[in-house]
Structure 1
Amino acid sequence: MIARLARLRRPAGVVALAAAASLLAGCVSGAPAEPQAAPVPYSDVHGLPEGALAVMNQPQYAHGRWLISVKDIDTGEVLIDLDADKMVEPGSFVKTYSAGAAWLTWGPDHTITTPVKRTGDVADGTLAGDLVLVGMGDLTMGGRTKPDGTVDFTNLDHNDANPLPGATLTTEDPLAGLDELAAQVKAAGIDSVAGDVLVDDRLFSGELENQPISPIIINQNILDVLITPGAVGETATAALTPAVAPWTVVSEVETVEAGGETAISAPVEGTDGTLTVTGTVAADAGPQLKVYAFDDPATFARTAFIEALGRAGVAVTTDPLATNSTAALPAFADVEALPSVAEIESLPLGEEITYVMKISYNRGAQTLVCRLAVQAGSDDCDDGMAEENRIWKEAGLDVLGASLVDGSGLDGNVITPENAVQIQTLLAERPDAERWRDTLPILGVDGSLADVASDSPAAGKVFAKTGTLLGYDAFNDRYRLVTKALGGVMDSEDGRHLAFTIAVNQGFFDDAVGVFSANDDVGAVAALIQQAW
């Protein structure tokens, strides 16, 4: 999920953590801050097992509050209600609202088509005009498609590589979609382009965390830098993926003794496209992934597409490193009406949402909101929130049970646990309910829950979206867990089908790493509920 946590050091405000960040909960430890008083502990919550109360009454949560809602989907019986009608910040659980609205609108089999248009005629293999790649909001552009047609992901995704150690890459070629389009251009009889190659990114416009939300998305609009340690005292090697000019990588990372500190900077771009990484890496640390995010995705896509055209045997005379501009293009609707010379179909929406939910892809969730805005006739992503409200209201959701500011789960969103349960119930009543359930992280199996309760009998039976918000308490020099949320569905030990939401607000820890242990605690409560019913 997410946010620019830098190096987990004293965030100035509230930081939304990628749900993937919670994977660290199973492999790190941190001490809870000492409580300054002894508030009355939770006791005798109807329907809640005693073991769950023990988890909730730990010292780090002594000044916080827990909110829980559990409902039998089949009978409608409310099994647990602990402040379920009170508002709570849900973090990345908000993706359930944005992705769910897209699911209700288009269904899991919906796809979108990204075309390449031409503005002139083709004579003797030469296009006397421009090629225009039209961004349509495809989240993966063929770069994460497995041979069986499903989306590939790693449990700790490359989007979160800078703030969190352990992120890994999938094996697919992130430029595969561009290569496919370029091959189609060649097959259409175009051997050379006399005009320009442009990317039309005007379908919608928005931003999230000061980063653009663009309808053209190549490799999630980031470059991956993989740093591999060498011999002690030597400079670690660094490799760039995808390899697109003019970007190159320079390593100033020193290999230190085994067991030493691994602390590598995020890549810093120079004026010539050189990305520099600095710091230290332990000799036994293994490859370390860092990423560089583009402020101008269209220019990156333009350069990468021109290179793909070259690989396909299509000669292009325009400067491949020029800044992309749509100034010379006709109106967007007129571009849509131009002849197509190539097109690529996206993965089905169900696969796109799987990627968004499993790894908590912030910009992906916000892109879905942008696509909803386009559905409503607007190119302003902000208008997608009103459309999301309309969709859920029409589906029967009590929309006043949520107050949302974005589609990804940053600071400022609030919901009631019972509203979240209502969403899961509405989706569970659909014919495609099982397909929706399978997009969610699975307790002890994959995504942001891969390492949570993996040895519990509940593993594999709880399907839920996580959410995390972290703040820093400068007054006491400690970290504050603003919220940790978990919501979805489960098959209980007695065979009941339950919708649930669990959230804890205001836990306090001496270090940022310790905050992540809250993911284990919330997961443990979910596992205990699954076993008790």
Structure 2
Amino acid sequence: MNAAVFLRRGATVAAVAALVLAGATACTTEAPTDPWAVDGLPDAALDVMNQDRYEHATWSIAVHDLETGEVLIDLGADRMVEPGSFAKSYSAGAAWLEWGPDHTITTPVKRTGEVTAGVLAGDLVLVGMGDLTMGGRTKDDGGVDFTNLDHNDANFLPGSTLTPQDPLSGLNELAAQVKASGIDSVVGDVVVDDRLFTGTLGGQAVTPTVINQNLVDVMVQPTEPGEPAGTTLTPAVSPWTVTSTVETVEAGGTTDITIDESSHDGEVVLSGTIAADSEPQLKVYAFDDPATFARTAFIEALGRADVAVAADPLATNPGTELAERAEVDTMPTVAELESLPLAEEVTYVMKISYNRGAQTLVCRLAVERGDSECDAGMPIAGEIWKDAGLDVTGAALIDGSGLEGNYVTPANALQIQTLMAQRPDAERWKATLPVLGVDGSLAMVGADGPAAGKVFAKTGTLLNWDAFNQRFRLATKTLGGVMETASGRDLAFTIIVTQGFFDDLDGILDANDDVGAVTAIIQQAF
């Protein structure tokens, strides 16, 4: 019998371990000296794993030494489990292997017709290329900016905030270049060419044109008790408005704000309450027509650059009127926007766990190999990893973001980190991962502990509602990456717990802390 244990805590973690160890020694004359131990796993970690909330949970752990390859912990490492957003390591990693961390893409603006005395007797065509940030998250030093609780999670996690950059910066830069090219007015139309690839993720379109992550942000500010709350819309693009019935209540009162189902493109509808002493609360709406949003935003940017456009800025994007894509590619270019390097895009995807960003990288892989269907990118990612030496049969993936339906073995997840750690650009890859107690999705985990700043790992979470018992079911909580141990060793690791149960959402944050605590205990033990 394999001494690795697939832990399902019906009695206790230790009890199951004892049964397996007993079976493993049935053909020998020697009994294990410690029937409660799991090879390599400190007892303190078992204390965390044996909490009541994990009574029906399964823990799987794989740890090995990056220098020697020595297996330090193997606890159900070969069993398939759902990794949640850790799957982004596979999609972002495939893009990294394919192009390298310095790779960039260029978003062009093309023109039809001729320019005479500053007048374009034709159209401007903004060609979407899958740039994840379009200049809207670029810091002064050229790196990508993010917040530890990013706006992508604003409707689920309180405390989400915005970066200070203007999400329309890239469009403003393109508009300025159009003006500098000698175009003062456009007689024809402005069109967004959104045909580079097509795909969906979780019921939402994954598109080649991405402005503000295809979200509108609404910041809700408290006023005086009994008065309507204040709201600020970002980015401010016509015809978008906010309809809010959010009321400010007394200090210490309930803050509970929702985006109503009646919201639709052009209007965000909010309801609820906000306490007078509350911090501003961020909510987001994912719009349904990114191409039309980008078209209006670009026409408004052209106006700010003193380029007049005759076409209706609020019309639906006339993408069906475009020439064939090959013909568009040959048209004169009047403006170009270079993306951030791939290392910065991957940093954004990994630090904040940006689902559609990860899937966009899969789409770009498909396009690289001549296919416009995003689904074609997943087998391509598999081929890339296989060529890199990964045992791809240890993973069964359906998307690049980590929604339900993806499965990996902890050992396979560990192998990914091992392969990346062997590359010349290993430190740059490691820098894209959230850091325990420092930033991204691990900023608040173990911040005061001795392992803070020593663990670099991708998180993963899948959460469901147990209507039968009116509680939350933690389908998956994952942490996988690399660590620098207390003794100076470099380890790769994966920790996955499935099927924990919690009374409220705060319990899910506790699960994040628990997996972080197990990681920190291992980091200190080796």
Q: Is the 8 A contact 1:41 1:57 kept in 2?
A: no
Q: Is the 8 A contact 2:265 2:287 kept in 1?
A: no
1:304-349 deviations in Å (ceiling 9; x for gaps) = 0000000001010000000002211111121111110000000000
Q: Which of residues 290, 293, 299 is equivalent to 1:300?
A: 293
1:416 aligns with 2:409: yes
Q: Which residue of 1 aligns with 2:41?
A: 48
For residue 274 of structure 1, report the CA deviation from its aligned partner: 3.1
For residue 507 of structure 1, report the CA deviation from its aligned partner: 1.0
DSSP 3-state at the match of 1:212: strand
Q: Which residue of 2 aligns with 1:103?
A: 96
Q: Is the 8 A contact 1:268 1:275 kept in 2?
A: no
For residue 456 of structure 1, report the CA deviation from its aligned partner: 1.0
Q: Which of residues 373, 377, 395 is equivalent to 1:402?
A: 395
Q: Distance in 2 between matches of 1:494 and 1:512?
A: 36
DSSP 3-state at the match of 1:438: helix
Q: Distance in 1 between matches of 2:70 and 2:11?
A: 37
Q: Which of residues 489, 505, 508 is equivalent to 2:498?
A: 505
Q: Which residue of 2 aligns with 1:20?
A: none
1:154 aligns with 2:147: yes
1:359-393 deviations in Å (ceiling 9; x for gaps) = 00000000000001101110000000010010000
Q: Which residue of 1 aligns with 2:126?
A: 133
Q: Which of residues 422, 432, 443 is equivalent to 2:425?
A: 432
The count of corresponding residues between Structure 1 and Structure 2 is: 499
Q: Which of residues 56, 61, 64 is equivalent to 2:54?
A: 61
Unaligned runs of 5+ in 2: 1-8, 18-35
1:315 aligns with 2:292: no
Q: Is the 8 A contact 1:238 1:250 kept in 2?
A: no
Q: Which residue of 1 aligns with 2:318?
A: 325
For residue 269 of structure 1, report the CA deviation from its aligned partner: 6.1
Q: Distance in 2 between matches of 1:161 and 1:247?
A: 19
Q: Distance in 1 between matches of 2:314 and 2:264?
A: 13
The amino acid across from 1:247 in the alignment is: W
Unaligned runs of 5+ in 1: 1-34
If asked which structure has higher relative contact order (CA below 8 Å, sep 6+), I would say 1
The amino acid across from 1:417 in the alignment is: P
Q: Which residue of 2 aligns with 1:84?
A: 77
Q: Which of residues 327, 334, 344 is equivalent to 1:334?
A: 327
DSSP 3-state at the match of 2:63: strand
Q: Which of residues 157, 179, 190 is equivalent to 1:197?
A: 190
Q: Which residue of 2 aligns with 1:363?
A: 356
The amino acid across from 2:160 in the alignment is: A
The amino acid across from 2:364 in the alignment is: R
Q: Which residue of 2 aligns with 1:255?
A: 248
1:283 aligns with 2:290: no
Q: Which of residues 442, 448, 455 is equivalent to 2:448?
A: 455
Q: Distance in 1 between matches of 2:157 and 2:474?
A: 17
For residue 199 of structure 1, report the CA deviation from its aligned partner: 0.2
* Worse overlay, 56-65 or 110-119: 56-65
The amino acid across from 2:88 in the alignment is: K
1:403-425 deviations in Å (ceiling 9; x for gaps) = 00100000010100000010000
Q: Is the 8 A contact 2:146 2:163 kept in 1?
A: yes
DSSP 3-state at the match of 2:463: strand
* Worse overlay, 256-265 or 303-312: 256-265
For residue 267 of structure 1, report the CA deviation from its aligned partner: 5.8
Q: Which residue of 2 aligns with 1:29?
A: none
The amino acid across from 1:356 in the alignment is: V
1:444 aligns with 2:433: no
Q: Is the 8 A contact 1:302 1:320 kept in 2?
A: yes
Q: 1:271 to 1:390 in 2, by over 3 A?
A: closer
DSSP 3-state at the match of 2:320: coil
DSSP 3-state at the match of 2:384: helix
Q: Distance in 2 between matches of 1:365 and 1:272?
A: 24
Identity %, equivalent residues = 70
Q: Distance in 2 between matches of 1:482 and 1:250?
A: 36
Q: Distance in 2 between matches of 1:85 and 1:467?
A: 18
Q: Which residue of 1 aligns with 2:66?
A: 73
Q: 1:523 to 1:334 in 2, by over 3 A?
A: same
For residue 286 of structure 1, report the CA deviation from its aligned partner: 1.6
For residue 270 of structure 1, report the CA deviation from its aligned partner: 6.0
For residue 271 of structure 1, report the CA deviation from its aligned partner: 7.2
Q: Distance in 1 between matches of 2:494 and 2:92?
A: 17
For residue 36 of structure 1, report the CA deviation from its aligned partner: 8.5
1:120 aligns with 2:98: no
Q: Distance in 2 between matches of 1:274 and 1:391?
A: 43
Q: Distance in 1 between matches of 2:209 and 2:148?
A: 24
For residue 38 of structure 1, report the CA deviation from its aligned partner: 6.1
Q: Is the 8 A contact 1:268 1:277 kept in 2?
A: no
The amino acid across from 1:313 in the alignment is: D
For residue 494 of structure 1, report the CA deviation from its aligned partner: 1.2
DSSP 3-state at the match of 2:108: strand
1:430-471 deviations in Å (ceiling 9; x for gaps) = 000000000000000000000001111110000000001112
1:237 aligns with 2:197: no
* Worse overlay, 449-458 or 245-254: 245-254
For residue 474 of structure 1, report the CA deviation from its aligned partner: 2.6
Q: Which residue of 1 aligns with 2:221?
A: 228
Q: Distance in 2 between matches of 1:359 and 1:217?
A: 17
1:170 aligns with 2:163: yes
The amino acid across from 2:198 in the alignment is: S
**TM (normalized to structure 2)?**
0.93
Q: Is the 8 A contact 2:264 2:287 kept in 1?
A: no
Q: 1:474 to 1:252 in 2, by over 3 A?
A: closer
DSSP 3-state at the match of 1:74: coil
Q: Distance in 2 between matches of 1:180 and 1:46?
A: 58
For residue 510 of structure 1, report the CA deviation from its aligned partner: 2.3
Q: Is the 8 A contact 1:267 1:292 kept in 2?
A: no
The amino acid across from 2:128 in the alignment is: G
For residue 515 of structure 1, report the CA deviation from its aligned partner: 2.5
Q: Is the 8 A contact 2:259 2:268 kept in 1?
A: no
CA radius of gyration, larger in: 2
Q: 1:146 to 1:296 in 2, by over 3 A?
A: same
Q: Distance in 1 between matches of 2:505 and 2:219?
A: 25
For residue 41 of structure 1, report the CA deviation from its aligned partner: 5.7
For residue 276 of structure 1, report the CA deviation from its aligned partner: 2.3
> How big is the alpha-carbon RMSD for the aligned residues of Structure 1 and Structure 2?
1.4
* Worse overlay, 468-477 or 285-294: 468-477
Q: Distance in 2 between matches of 1:37 and 1:356?
A: 39
Q: Which residue of 2 aligns with 1:346?
A: 339
